[in-house]
Every structure is written in structure tokens, then in C-alpha cells.
Amino acid sequence: MGKEVIGLDTLTLRPVGYVRSPYQQPREVPRGPGAQHSAEGVLEILPEFEAGLKDIEGFSHLFVIWAFDRSEGFELVGTPPTDDRPHGVFATRSPRRPNPIALTVVELLRRDGARLHVRGVDMLEGTPILDIKPYLSGVAPEHLRRGWLDEAEARAANARG
């Protein structure tokens, strides 16, 4: 049973597993306006954490919290591939963040022991997984606002004619 007190000034995280992904290089991951993430991969959980997967099979989708372990530094304002205008890092999904933590929603296809076969990976091969949680969305689509993304997509659609 883990019982250490976590001090936020010295927070250290250890991987609970690693992603098996078809993507070896950042440029292979679909990006930009309308990018779809339908690639399949495997979340390989380390043997010492496998018991924590009990009952996960009942969930169709999962939040995967992972580390941008191949990012260097951060940029507080940057221009994402989905727009030609700059935005604050906390209004984007940039890999270059003060804390290099990422979040991806994947579809759980099946469990094979400590291996979760999933669809929707945007991580590189060997990416460390920090945590997994069931995805439970309580926000109705009509209440969601998508900020600058809606505006950028509208401009891109106009430009295409």
C-alpha cells in the first residue's frame, strides 16, 4: 500500500507502464486541422500495477495521462499546427509545457492481461504512462465551447472555399 505524502515542490512520478505505438517519430503523428487519431496501440502496464486494472474492461473509453518525455523546454505562447495565430500554452495541447504532462482519450478495444489494446493513440513508441482513468464525460455537446479552435477551423474552411 503506497503511503508516502506527496510534496508538490518535489513531486516525482513513476511510469505505471509504456505505450506500444505505431509512431516512432513526431512527424508521423497526424496533426493540423481535422487530424484524426484512429491509430491502434497497446498500453502495457508494468506487472506490479496490473492488479489496478481490475474491472477496467467495462469502460469503453479511458483517459491516459502520460509524459512528453521527448519534449525540451516550454513555450508560454506559441502557434499550434491548427492555426496561424499564437495562443497561450494553457489554451493549447502543445508538447512544450512547463510540466510535460499529456492527456489522451482512447477507446478500449480489449484487455489481454496487463496489455490494454486501444484505438486513438497519439503518443510515440515507448512513451511513459503516468496514470489511466475511466472516461466519463458529463458535459453535453451543446454546452461545450471550443474557443479559438472553432474560429481557426472556420477560417481554414473559408480559405479552402
Ligand X SMILES: C[S@@+](CC[C@H](N)C(=O)[O-])C[C@H]1O[C@@H](n2cnc3c(N)ncnc32)[C@H](O)[C@@H]1O
Contact 42, 150 (CB under 8 A): no
**CA–CA dist 69, 78 (Å, integer):** 19
Q: Which residue among 31, 52, 88, 134 contacts ligand X (CB under 6 A)?
A: 31
* 66 beta partners: 102, 129
Residues 93-132 contacting ligand X, CB under 6 A? 93, 95, 102-104, 122-124, 127
Number of chain positions touching ligand X (CB under 6 A): 16
Residues 52-91 contacting ligand X, CB under 6 A? 68-71
**CA–CA dist 139, 127 (Å, integer):** 29
Binding of residue 18 to ligand X (CB under 6 A):
no
Nearer to ligand X, 36 or 158 (CB): 36
**For residue 4, how far is the Cα from the chain centroid?**
27
Q: Where on the chain is the footprint of ligand X (CB under 6 A)?
A: 26, 29, 31, 68-71, 93, 95, 102-104, 122-124, 127
